[in-house]
Structure 1
Amino acid sequence: MGRLATVAVSCLNQWALDFGGNKRRILESIEIAKQNNATYRSGPELEICGYSCEDHFFENDTLLHSWQVLVELMIHHSASDILIDVGMPVMHKNSTYNCRVVFLNKRILLIRPKLVLCDSGNYRESRWFSPWRKLRTVEDFYLPRIVQECTNQTIVPFGDAVIATADTCIGYEICEELWTPYSTHIPLCMDGVEIIVNSSGSYMELRKNSIILDLIKSTTFKNGGCYLYSNLRGCDGQRVYFNGCSNIVMNGSLIKVGTQFNLKEVEVICATIDLEDIHSYRNSLRSRSNSSSESYHRINVLDFSLSRETRKIPDPILTNFECLSAEEQISLGPACWLWDYLRRSKQGGYFLPLSGGVDSSSTACIVYSMCNLIYQACKDGDKQVLTEVRCIVGQDNYFPTGANELCNILFTTCYMATENSSSQTKQRAEELSSQISSYHLSVVIDKAVSAIISIFVSLTGKTPQFSIYGGSPRESLALQNVQARLRMVLTYLFAQLMLWVRGRQGGLLVLGSGNVDEALRGYMTKYDCSSADVNPIGGISKSDLKMFLKYFRKKYSLSAIDNIINATPTAELEPLIDGQITQSDEADMGMTYDELSVFGKLRKQNYCGPYSMFCKLLLLWGEQYTAEQIAEKVKHFFRCYAINRHKMTILTPSYHAEAYGPDDNRFDHRPFLYNVMWPWQFCCIDKKVEEFNNKKTEVPRYHLPIESNRDGKYAVNV
């Protein structure tokens, strides 16, 4: 008695303003859906133009080219006899909306605008789009002439409506509408809509993916129905990497789910469902059956059915799916992001100053992970990846024999030593390079450092000294910065010319390797090796990087990582004593990396200023430190943060991973000029310390768990 329908969701690696490429990928997804006998195909948010067009959404060209692509999609033979929705910007009454355009057999059925826009995190949708405020309301939309000529339509419905076929009812919520307290799917389901289609542009953050799946499963568990979730995957020109994991969920259970990280540009997930299962499940929810809901306007398509006569059986519930761990996400996400940057920039590979520390070694391992993904994709017959690899290496018939061979071709590393560098770090860099097979160089830059200092001495008659030799702190810091900045100059020289040396065309992209905690603290030299083209670990904490390295060492049997993890983090910019390192990152910073992570979460995710951060840490750290010690830690952090905040304006574009990232350019919009003494705020802290010490009663102390909330953000619960 069942009514079986096969539905398809798409995961596409689109590129902002790449209209031709985006059209090709959409058509491929439609063709795959048709091959699987799907009668409905959905795709990701703004898939026609690409999600990250940003201020290009203000340009009429973006709107025009989106309509042009839509017309070519509609008239393509693959688009016949299948219900399709695609994402694009649409201007209605001189306001631009983020829309889904639903069409069938060269006729537009509905243009559905987004109701709730996202402006948190890296999102700024209300800068370019207007939200549709007229709930359950439809207006006439006058089609552009190029569309009229294709569809023989002049006016189509525009607004908050649903599609009624001969056998079911389909409604829409777009990305952020799933996350809102009163989500769109609630009134849709209460009005009898059986299939909810969500087209999303959700980017990756560590540990976020399980939250999305839980939200969707909860949605259909409470309401019944089938939920189709299509998401972007990949880097379409920004710091974020879209999360993938398009999925199909029914009546609270996961039916099909796609991969989170993959080099495939097109992935289509199909599932066969029984519409009768929705009816029986909902009918059993007696609290739902006793409720009433205001009706939506229905676009009737009564000559079309999603269900078909088939010998298929409904797809079973997926019981063994597990989300990737944070270590796996770090291994795969930035690697895919780097691949997108490399192939789309048309450069010849990557260059990394490899110091032998946790940060640069993590970056090297991520590049090695990228090479493994590329090799596996070629081995599995991915023609798109193979074509692009051949273009990068400049050999038409090239086929990689292994990841290590690829790494030697695509990845150049260089240990840049001074008299302050130790033999231990040099050895660690060489061992890791040997095990991943990067093309490795080692050079001593003391002559360049001495030449620069000699220019200053000859001009001023003064010779700066390190503090260990009696110099002032500013002399010592200047001497350290000269080494760091010269490394950046040499890095770009090598990156531009090393492929010329090796007889290949093109240049190398420079990789940065500063972690999110160092950026937050400002523990880096402006325009040193923190200045690069892209930084795959710039949004990842030190503690997560160490966890990742342990996982990576086990996965690829890289014994060189053992010594790297156990080494004390150091910049190696101050003189050695008896050949041994005396400088330590945590000593220089005046705080540990674990403390930095807590500061970062409280500052960004809990929106704490100095005073409220102190009050929370008084509870969190009260058993470890005195109130005075906690106060000094908070003050020291905010002084350093304020002094170095200007560095965030020139931060290398980094892979976004942690929700407390300090990236000024897109994510963390705050001033870069502060009163570094924070006089009012610190005075409030001092009063609180005095008040705390004068209290006779004991303040209850307990540890506050750090948990993730629904947006994948991690906060200290108070």
Structure 2
Amino acid sequence: MKLIKVAAGVVNQIPMAWEHNRRTIIDAIDEAKRQQVSILCLPELCITGYGCEDMFFSHDVMEQAKQSLLEIVPHTDGIIVAVSLPLRLANNRTYDTACLIANKRILGFVCKQVLANNGIHYETRWFQPWTPGVRDEIQIGEFSYPVGDLVFDVSGVRIGFEICEDAWIAGRPGRNLYERGVDIILNPSASHFAFYKSHVRERFVIDGSRAFGASYIYCNLLGNESGRAIFDGDSMIASNGQLLVSGPRFSYADHLIVTAVIDVDDTRLSQAQNRVNLAALSPNLRVPAQFDFPPVKPVVQKAELEYWEKDSHLKEEEFARAVALALFDYLRKSRSQGFVLSLSGGADSSAIASLVYLMIRLAEESIGLEAFKKKLGYIKAIQNKKTSGEICEVLLTTIYQGTENSSKDTYDSAESLSKSIHATFYNININGLVETYTRLIEEQLGRQLSWKTDDVALQNIQARVRAPSVWMLANIRNSLLLSTSNRSEASVGYATMDGDTAGSISPIAGIDKHFLRGWLRWLESEGVGGTIKIAGLKNVNGLQPTAELRPPDQKQTDEEDLMPYDVLNGIEKFAIRDKLSPKEVMQNIEVVFEGQYDRDKLYVSVERFFRLWGRNQWKRERYAPSFHLDDENVDPKTWCRFPILNSGFEKELAELKEYVEGKEGGGRRGRIGF
């Protein structure tokens, strides 16, 4: 048996933070050496950070990346390491590359062949795809190195690469690597988080190791690197179709590695049984200097899922852990002193308050409170705190801003939640401010405003008046103001610009209200990991969602203003994710909600959704940055682009009306599920 100890490493990077990025890479290498690892794979573009955006056009960024690489190389004594960076070749084209280093020597650079260019990814803007089978050279310092489609032969062990998106296509480069007899495939990735996506990655890692008769090492970036994308730090090692080990996701550490012992002779036997003609293999890049693979003992390994991944509420767990980690990284990388939140007592603001509390508790679970405080060492006020509750009191400031239309129920909800998670809680009444603005306008108009003639204006002024005071608190505390709008509201414009949309970041703008309400009930009763529950959510979970902007006798509720949230969510999936016409959406919604809502209710909901979606793109363009969570995202900057000025679906809605009124033949049809 030829046994080799290998590792997948994950690192939490920051775009163009050269010292930080270099330090985390070196720390990961040092940790791998302490564990006597022979081969370590680190994530895609880990030297620069993945999210450099148009700074990838910068000549200086290219030079800084090469300089960082040269400073990393001396730390690779006695180990083979794969690190990644952008390279600009003599043809003035830039490539996304992985560099293989062995025992303080650069062996060469492999270029990414398949670029991600959908949704949140825009790689073809900055990089060129590499042509399979082509090889070139690049000079760095005094030496020239091979670059392109390479396989490395290091002391008889053949090593190849699939870089992130390379592995997500049908004709993946791994097939060519198989034909060239690779023993080990390394996959450095920058794969953004989305619900259940880890299961897809696990499948292509396992299937790749089986189909290509190789050991497969996969590693992903970790954390909120540059603002919107979240990286979960997924890491896996598989061999011959068996998952040997997978690492923890959503860690609060700057780096971590997961190791396994692989058997090269075993994978070669698999290739031989698949009738690979090793004598006819295309030539590999051979390394003259021998690398010493130290002997290791065979290890019986079995990949274990974490407790929460075995649970049936995987989406709830992933949402909690992904957004909590994203908030933590956004806080520390922006060097803000904490968070400020206008806490209405409703579901949206209560969910955000809970996520900030979970940020602290999950960090404590991951790295401990002392390490958490050290990472936030610039926040002096938390350094002497001993518990997560004491820290939350410093990091989260909430304020309830009531008017004559606010109820005791929502106040009690806000207060009880704040006490439950130990957040700082303030209470002010803004009724006088609302009346002042109202009188000023009435004087200019020469008439009184009324709910009969000025409903929207009177609702919105209450929401907008709340913004200056909460911004003032954020400024005083040098904190991030958290915007409270969710994705359902963004879709239909059910939000007051410069009111509940005001903020530095919008943590829940990527999730629908229907899910959010269920998540809050789950967080109260079952909790994250089955242990972290928030009892203070009891009051909010007993409330019907309402903006509380109309007089109490009007009994305003969100679902009466809009439509049932489960229906809104279903329509949104068909209309925005699947790009169906209003008539097609109606046909599908009729099947999904048959027996739950009458046909007229569904028709009104579909018609209202499309009209509101069409006229409210300008609002979505102005939302604070939000986190990407799935393919139902409506963020126009990263996922769902739509014209601000548009037809309003006039022709399509006319066709919908004809269908509902029975003027169109063909009857009802649709597909079940969404």
| One of 559, 566, 569 as aligned partner of 1:594 | 566
- Counterpart residue identity of residue 464, structure 1: L
SS at the partner of 2:170? coil
- Does residue 565 (structure 1) correspond to residue 541 (structure 2)? The answer is yes
Structure 1 residues 295-324: Cα deviation after superposition (integer angstroms, max 9, x where no partner): 5541102543474323x2234122555673
Q: Percent identity?
A: 29
| One of 227, 233, 251 as aligned partner of 2:222 | 233
Quick one: structure 1 residues 437 and 97, their matched pair in 2 at CA, closer, same or farther if it must change by over 3 Å?
A: same
Shift of 1:270: 1.6
Shift of 1:631: 4.4
Alpha-carbon distance in 1 for matches of 2:293, 2:355: 45
Corresponding position of 1:494: 473
- Does residue 195 (structure 1) correspond to residue 153 (structure 2)? The answer is no
CA contact (8 A) 1:170 1:197 kept: yes
CA contact (8 A) 2:575 2:581 kept: yes
- Does residue 547 (structure 1) correspond to residue 518 (structure 2)? The answer is yes
Corresponding position of 1:715: none
SS at the partner of 2:376? helix
CA contact (8 A) 1:190 1:293 kept: no
Corresponding position of 2:268: 279
Quick one: structure 1 residues 13 and 290, their matched pair in 2 at CA, closer, same or farther if it must change by over 3 Å?
A: closer
Alpha-carbon distance in 1 for matches of 2:2, 2:509: 50
Corresponding position of 1:527: 498
- Counterpart residue identity of residue 512, structure 2: S
Shift of 1:441: 0.3
Alpha-carbon distance in 1 for matches of 2:205, 2:367: 34
Equivalent residue runs for 1:114-513 within 5 Å: 114-133=112-131, 135-141=132-138, 143-144=139-140, 147-148=141-142, 153=143, 155-284=144-273, 288-289=274-275, 295-301=281-287, 303-305=289-291, 307-310=293-296, 312-320=297-305, 324=309, 325-376=314-365, 379=368, 382=371, 385-394=372-381, 398-466=383-451, 471-472=452-453, 475-497=454-476, 499=477, 507-513=478-484
Structure 1 residues 325-358: Cα deviation after superposition (integer angstroms, max 9, x where no partner): 1111122211111111111222211000111111
Quick one: structure 1 residues 569 and 690, their matched pair in 2 at CA, closer, same or farther if it must change by over 3 Å?
A: closer
SS at the partner of 2:379? helix
| One of 92, 95, 99 as aligned partner of 1:94 | 92
- Does residue 655 (structure 1) correspond to residue 655 (structure 2)? The answer is no
Moved more, 636-645 or 207-216: 207-216
Shift of 1:39: 1.4
Shift of 1:69: 0.3
Alpha-carbon distance in 2 for matches of 1:447, 1:465: 17
Shift of 1:611: 4.1
Moved more, 604-613 or 243-252: 604-613
RMSD: 2.3
Corresponding position of 1:713: none
Alpha-carbon distance in 1 for matches of 2:578, 2:226: 29
- Counterpart residue identity of residue 82, structure 1: I
CA contact (8 A) 1:204 1:242 kept: yes
Alpha-carbon distance in 1 for matches of 2:280, 2:340: 60
SS at the partner of 1:530? coil
Corresponding position of 1:712: none
- Counterpart residue identity of residue 573, structure 2: K
CA contact (8 A) 1:495 1:508 kept: yes
- Does residue 107 (structure 1) correspond to residue 105 (structure 2)? The answer is yes
Moved more, 682-691 or 165-174: 682-691
Structure 1 residues 139-175: Cα deviation after superposition (integer angstroms, max 9, x where no partner): 232x14xx22xxxx2x221111111122321110111
Give the TM-score normalised by structure 2: 0.94
CA contact (8 A) 1:122 1:667 kept: yes
- Does residue 704 (structure 1) correspond to residue 672 (structure 2)? The answer is yes
SS at the partner of 1:161? coil
CA contact (8 A) 2:252 2:367 kept: no
- Counterpart residue identity of residue 533, structure 1: S
Shift of 1:375: 3.8
CA contact (8 A) 1:45 1:87 kept: yes
Structure 1 residues 426-477: Cα deviation after superposition (integer angstroms, max 9, x where no partner): 00111111111101001100111111111111212111111xxxx22xx011
Give the TM-score normalised by structure 1: 0.88
Quick one: structure 1 residues 86 and 268, their matched pair in 2 at CA, closer, same or farther if it must change by over 3 Å?
A: same
CA contact (8 A) 1:108 1:156 kept: yes
Alpha-carbon distance in 2 for matches of 1:331, 1:206: 11
CA contact (8 A) 2:571 2:589 kept: no
CA contact (8 A) 1:253 1:318 kept: no
Quick one: structure 1 residues 442 and 258, their matched pair in 2 at CA, closer, same or farther if it must change by over 3 Å?
A: same
CA contact (8 A) 1:235 1:241 kept: yes
Quick one: structure 1 residues 191 and 557, their matched pair in 2 at CA, closer, same or farther if it must change by over 3 Å?
A: closer
Corresponding position of 2:609: 637
Shift of 1:88: 0.7
SS at the partner of 1:52? coil
SS at the partner of 1:390? coil
Alpha-carbon distance in 2 for matches of 1:456, 1:201: 52
- Counterpart residue identity of residue 243, structure 1: D
Alpha-carbon distance in 1 for matches of 2:43, 2:165: 13
Alpha-carbon distance in 2 for matches of 1:293, 1:546: 62
SS at the partner of 2:52? helix
- Counterpart residue identity of residue 471, structure 2: Y
Alpha-carbon distance in 2 for matches of 1:275, 1:523: 59
Alpha-carbon distance in 2 for matches of 1:165, 1:653: 45
Alpha-carbon distance in 1 for matches of 2:458, 2:491: 23
Shift of 1:219: 2.0
Unpaired segments ≥5 residues, structure 1: 500-506, 707-718
Corresponding position of 1:710: none
Corresponding position of 1:664: 636
CA contact (8 A) 1:627 1:692 kept: no
Shift of 1:634: 2.4
